[in-house]
Structure 1
């Protein structure tokens, strides 16, 4: 087995694990995250607009949580969230929410490397 095929398999399995983690977080941790920000106006507006419990609704609500937790200074500056609300979210829950999405940036880079490598490899074989 060539190194390219091994890289492809690892990349493919990695994306499946990553998607599984994202689904796990959306279906098990989202409600807990929203409970800590239950008085926040923006979170309540998102919950009202995306009120059905379908995948697309949970995706958009989770997107707001990721935005708030990954760039808290911008939300504090815009007065969309308070420091007390951010401090109330436990660190372990923040990590569960943010890590799958941070790792997805690494996967995007490896997908780009795979694409370039695939085009280069197909020209030489």
Structure 2
């Protein structure tokens, strides 16, 4: 028996877990974290573009905020975020906002690796 079916099932499980976690965070935690960025120019523009209350609009706003919290030094270096904005967010809320990315980033990188690997077989 090969490991491929087991790895595929494990991958599908973690993918569905990430999607469910992302939906939970978008519906419950986004309203708690957005006020911390009321004066941020990037988030103001993001709200102008994705300002609706649909799931798609909310998930796009949550994605930008989670990237800003996950990689703050990059956004601070570019002048799009201040350290005070990041420090004002409670640690527990930061963990909730970053949690979906812990599932999404590895699967994104794995999808790229599989696409590249398929070309060489």
TM-score (norm 2): 0.78
| Unaligned stretches of 5+ residues in structure 1 | 121-125
Q: CA deviation at 1:74?
A: 2.4
Structure with max Cα Rg: 1
**CA–CA separation in structure 1 for the residues paired with 2:64 and 2:46:** 8
Cα contact 2:69–2:94 (8 A) shared by 1: yes
**Residue 67 of structure 1 pairs with residue 78 of structure 2:** no
Cα contact 1:38–1:44 (8 A) shared by 2: yes
**CA–CA separation in structure 2 for the residues paired with 1:80 and 1:91:** 21
RMSD: 2.7
Cα contact 1:11–1:110 (8 A) shared by 2: no
| 101 and 41 in structure 1: CA distance in 2 versus 1, 3 angstrom threshold | same
| Unaligned stretches of 5+ residues in structure 2 | none
| 50 and 11 in structure 1: CA distance in 2 versus 1, 3 angstrom threshold | same
TM-score (norm 1): 0.76
Task: Output one character per residue of 1:51-109: Cα deviation in whole Å (capped at 9) or x when no partner.
Answer: 11112211221121022112212222232222211110111111111122122233345
Cα contact 2:51–2:57 (8 A) shared by 1: yes
Cα contact 1:47–1:61 (8 A) shared by 2: yes
- Larger CA deviation: 33-42 vs 75-84: 75-84
Aligned residues: 119
